[in-house]
Amino acid sequence: MDLPASLQRIVLPFGQCYAWRDGDEVTLVDTGPPGSGEAVAAALGGLGLDRDAVVRIVLTHHHPDHSGSAAEIRGWNGAELVAHAAETAVVRGEAAPPPLDLLPAEQQLWAQLGVDDSVPPPPCPVDREVTGGEVLPFGGGATVVHGPGHTPGSIALHLPGPRVLFTGDTVAESQGAVILGPFNLDRQQALAAFRRLISFDVDVALFGHGEPASGPELRAAVPGPFAG
């Protein structure tokens, strides 16, 4: 589907992140796993921008496939790093992430992915802690939507002007279906957050994993196999 001209989807070997452009300034939503900095820089180059264009990084949650390159990219020019207050201790390397309790379907998926989570990503300073309801200065105003469950501080970003929603991993797309994302720390909270997010009146929904979806596709989503 067509994405807003201000938006660049950066597909990585595992997962993806997004660059939102306001003139010559870029806000990154997530950073990909460790080692993704060069791929992000190449995507910026394709837009005619260099690394210094990144002025803000917003992490939807602390998992390494989202925060893994935060320290590297923040190191380019000291971009502001934004994360929920419940995520900051893990992002800063001050606390270990809570262990996952996987459903059988999630165990199978985890094995297929072959993810090595034995080494945590490099710790990264957090410049701004949010709790939900704040409006970040990009995309005409991006409202932080706190939806715990996937992790305690998982957030989404709602841009009402361009009618865009970044869901993080609370919502995902798989084989053409929009579903609850897997690997949730608290499945009941995640389901509540999922139901809230799929009710948003937007034109484009962007997920941590999977293809973008239209508003009608988002609102038709069902929890799927990972609800428990």
pLDDT at 10: 98
Q: What is the mean pLDDT of residues 135-157?
A: 98
Q: What is the pLDDT of residues 61-77, one digit of tens each?
A: 999 999 999 999 999 99
Q: What is the pLDDT of residues 100-126, one digit of tens each?
A: 888 888 888 877 776 666 678 999 999
Q: What is the pLDDT of residues 9-66, one digit of tens each?
A: 999 988 999 999 999 999 999 999 999 999 999 999 999 999 999 999 999 999 999 9
Answer for the pair 79, 57: CB distance below 8 angstroms, yes or no: yes
pLDDT at 108: 80
Handedness of CA 24, 25, 30, 32 (dihedral sign): positive
pLDDT at 115: 61
pLDDT at 185: 95
* Ramachandran region, residue 180 (left: φ > 0; alpha: ψ -120 to 50; beta: rest): beta
Answer for the pair 11, 62: CB distance below 8 angstroms, yes or no: no
Contacts of 228 (CB under 8 A, 6+ apart): 103, 187
What tokens does 12 get?
């990585």
Contacts of 93 (CB under 8 A, 6+ apart): 120, 122, 123, 124
β-bridge mates for residue 22, sequence order: 25
Distance separating alpha carbons of residues 144 and 100, to the nearest angstrom? 25
Answer for the pair 7, 47: CB distance below 8 angstroms, yes or no: no
pLDDT at 26: 98
pLDDT at 117: 64
Mean of all residue pLDDT scores within the chain: 95
Q: What is the pLDDT of residues 165-213, one digit of tens each?
A: 999 999 999 999 999 999 999 999 999 999 999 999 999 999 999 999 9
